[in-house]
Amino acid sequence: MSQVVIRSLPVLSDNYAHFIHNPSTGATACIDPADDPAILKALNDWHWNLTEILITHPHWDHVDGIKTLVKAFGAEVYGSRPDLGKIPSCDFGVLGGDGVKVGPLCASVIHVPGHTSHHVAYYFAEAGALFCGDSLFSLGCGRLLGGTAAEMWSSLKRLSALPEDTKIYCAHEYTQANGRFALHVDPDNADLKIRMEEVNELRAQGLPTVPSTLASELKCNPFLRCRDEQEFTELRRLKDHF
């Protein structure tokens, strides 16, 4: 296995910019950079040369930092092919099933519509890491802001089939709020209670709850524990009004 370093940087109010770095080649990708000077500062402090930018979907808090980083590093930008016109400086359109190289590392592109119509995730099998944007959150999932409940249900089932030791790098620090809803609808889940104790302790110390693992999400995330699409649709409706 190639050496891999993954770092997550809190940006804006509750976003994360994630980085995956190969020390042997210096190749570095940033996933979903917001317009936050902390990203450029961190890359310079770490002495990392940004070679790729991977975009999951074109919402402003995931793309507005692209132009600054491309100007600084000349990084190549990848995003969902149907969203090319919505992603600044994006010349490489990808579809589900494609691969994206970051030095010797290869990410598999997974089509995960629901939050948006053309949302994608990037799965680095060698690193056991999934960068899933706003599709899957720790203890939650994204709102339907362009996609449908049927699409999101299908997307979550697709992600649920990944190896259970996969680390889930979502794009927001929503775990504590998601957990309150999860406990509301699944109050007898012992694994969820333990997870929430961990989450509350981490947040009390100002520490991130991301990444989680797929194994934990399968036990604790109510949206992954739904039995069928109808149950998921109703749960998503309840969460929207919680």
Residues 104, 55, 128, 149: is their CA dihedral positive or negative? negative
Q: Which tokens hold the place of 224? A: 């992954």
Q: Which residue has the tokens 């074109």?
A: 58
Alpha-carbon gap, residue 90 to 85, rounded angstroms: 8
Q: 5-11 and 15-21 as β-strands: parallel, antiparallel, unpaired? A: antiparallel
Provide φ and ψ at 65, rounded to 5°: -90, 0
- If we measure between CA atoms, which residue out of 47, 232, 24 comes closest to residue 136? 232
Active site residues: 57, 59, 61-62, 115, 134, 172
Partners of 168 in the beta sheet?
A: 130, 212
